[in-house]
Structure 1
Amino acid sequence: MADLKVIDSHFHVWDLETQSLPWLEGTDGSITRTYTFDDLEALYGKLPGVEFAGGVYVEVDCADPVAEDRIVYDLMARHGKIRAAMLRSTVSPSMRVPLHATGIREPLHIDSEPRGRCLEQSFVDGLRALAAAGMPFESCNRVSELEDAYEAFAQVPEETVILNHLGNVEALDEPWCAVMRKFASLPNLYVKVSGYPTSDRGFVSELLALVRETFGADRLLYASNWPVVEMYSSFEEHFGLLRDAFGDDEDFFMNNAVRAYGLTL
């Protein structure tokens, strides 16, 4: 049987010798080291029956995003399996957009982002500019502001939005379920299945069933969130649970990411 082809729609790498990531100081220390793309390839190489077809680099909330642009350019030149790069900018009609960026992420979930930022007119106008340029927006949100995010994205339904980590789900309560149903009504919104702890298997099973029912088979993306996944699960456990749930579904593990990011393999 042919190997399952996988596009990892959300990974990070960083070099703490050359980059400053202040947010790491507030973590438990388990991921406070350098991570390379070679490390990620090696992890996929250990998975039986899996062909790693590449992945999507997502900005790492570092102190110097312009320096990160240069670092990622060099990484992409060296590693052909880095298929796309979602780089950081402040979303507005005049935003900085590196030529090698596939799209933009403004991390809306971090402490320095004001509440309601995504409802500012400059942000909505920036989404329209991204849509006109055919560039997706990568959205990472506080769970308490998912309604705001829906309101913003609904104003620009033509923009491709990729919602990170199931909206940073904390509980399968009615407010979260309701806003997920609203997101599912947007024609160009995709959701990454990542970011949740795996210790409670009942929670995981219910979560995966809910998102499959809500979004269908063609708008869910496999994402490892490596190496951040190591703070609440492990790379191997997360992948194994998703393969158990989705089988060898190449739409989930590869094809949906190809469509969402406009990849050429």
Structure 2
Amino acid sequence: MMIDTHLHVWDTAAVRIPWLLDAGLPAMADIPHGQDRRFVLVEADATDPVEEADWLVSLAEKDPRVHGVVVSVPLEHPQSERALARIASVPQVVGVRRLLQDRELFDSALFLDGLKQLVAYGLPFDACVRDHELPRLLALIEKVPELTVVLDHMGKPNVRDVSSRDVWQRNLARLAEFDNVFCKLSGLPAECQNADELERCAPDILDTAIETFSSERCLLGSDSPVSKDSSDWCERVLERLAVSLRPAVAEANAVNIYKRRAV
């Protein structure tokens, strides 16, 4: 069994997500059929996080293939505690993500308070940052070391700059020193210009991430439909692992981190 821990679904007729049009993405993205796997649905930076969270939860309530939902909560807002209290009571909510990439939230005292509230509620935080922002994420984690953090997309390494890749690898190793930081093997196709570039860089980047965090702290994520892979990305990832190590990355780690709450 496999859990794809990073699937984006949306319907712009129901939830406003303005950036999709500029990115050339479709107005609707459904849960894929024909795959023997479960999914964690991840927020897509909608205009109204509450509207999006409610819509995603409604999908999870109807579709048994959905293991859980990672919703967006504006942790930097003074009212975030009320929002967290609301979503923490929803069984289908298994985590929180607030996009950090290209945003000045790292030094926000309110955002830090929000992360501490996540610890109290027992919810993991999905951290989506670019490679040059990894030191700032590290500094944030040092202030809340008890927080469970899932690093999305392996920290978005630069696939075309060798020197940047070396820095990424060192920063990844620093993050891995925290036992409660996990790495989502996802998002690389979106960083590549074409299929040839993906074929060239995927083995090295995946092997580095897996070696750094070990199979006990890595998860699968397709990042579909933002990331597009002509093959099956999740199968591509598993092929980099010894057969004995695949069950942990394919399912067990996801179950342990993204805990489905009892109704």
For the criterion TM > 0.5, the same-fold answer is yes
Identify the match of residue 218 of structure 1 among 216, 219, 234.
216
Other structure's SS at 1:84 match: strand
Partner of 1:175: 167
Matches within 5 A, 1:132-147: 132-147=120-135
- Paired amino acid for 2:209: V
Matches within 5 A, 1:74-93: 74-92=58-76
Matches within 5 A, 1:44-63: 44=35, 51-52=36-37, 54-63=38-47
Partner of 2:226: 228
- Distance (Å, rounded) in 1 between the aligned partners of 2:95 and 2:235: 29
Matched, 1:9 2:5: yes
Q: Assess if the C-alpha contact under 8 Å between 2:70 and 2:97 holds in 1.
A: yes
Q: Assess if the C-alpha contact under 8 Å between 1:140 and 1:163 holds in 2.
A: yes
Other structure's SS at 2:28 match: coil
Other structure's SS at 2:29 match: coil
Q: Assess if the C-alpha contact under 8 Å between 2:21 and 2:27 holds in 1.
A: no
Partner of 2:192: none
Matched, 1:119 2:119: no
Other structure's SS at 2:3 match: strand
- Distance (Å, rounded) in 2 between the aligned partners of 1:240 and 1:77: 27
- Paired amino acid for 1:195: G
Partner of 1:195: 187
Other structure's SS at 1:246 match: coil
- Distance (Å, rounded) in 2 between the aligned partners of 1:83 and 1:241: 22
- Distance (Å, rounded) in 1 between the aligned partners of 2:180 and 2:211: 17
Partner of 1:18: 14
- Paired amino acid for 1:105: R
5+ residue gaps, structure 1: 45-50
Partner of 1:47: none
- Distance (Å, rounded) in 2 between the aligned partners of 1:151 and 1:18: 37
What percent of counterpart residues are identical?
27
Aligned length: 242
Q: Which runs of 4+ in 1 moved over 3 A?
A: none
Identify the match of residue 138 of structure 2 among 150, 168, 181.
150
CA distances 1:54-111 after superposition (whole Å, capped 9, x unpaired): 111111111222211221221111012211111111125741222323221111125x
- Distance (Å, rounded) in 2 between the aligned partners of 1:264 and 1:214: 30
Q: What RMSD, in angstroms, separates the aligned Cα atoms of the two structures?
A: 2.0
- Distance (Å, rounded) in 1 between the aligned partners of 2:15 and 2:74: 20
Q: Assess if the C-alpha contact under 8 Å between 1:165 and 1:192 holds in 2.
A: yes
CA distances 1:165-212 after superposition (whole Å, capped 9, x unpaired): 001111452211111011100111111101113533332111122112
Other structure's SS at 2:215 match: coil
Identify the match of residue 233 of structure 2 among 224, 231, 238.
238
- Paired amino acid for 1:214: T
- Does 128-137 or 166-175 show the bigger shift? 166-175
- Distance (Å, rounded) in 2 between the aligned partners of 1:33 and 1:120: 33
- Paired amino acid for 2:233: H
- Paired amino acid for 1:143: D
Q: Please report how far the alpha carbon of residue 26 of structure 1 lies from its aligned counterpart in structure 2 after TM superposition.
A: 2.1
- Does 175-184 or 17-26 show the bigger shift? 17-26
Scaled by the length of structure 1, what TM-score is found? 0.84
Other structure's SS at 2:240 match: helix
Partner of 1:253: 250
- Distance (Å, rounded) in 1 between the aligned partners of 2:178 and 2:75: 20
- Distance (Å, rounded) in 1 between the aligned partners of 2:233 and 2:60: 26
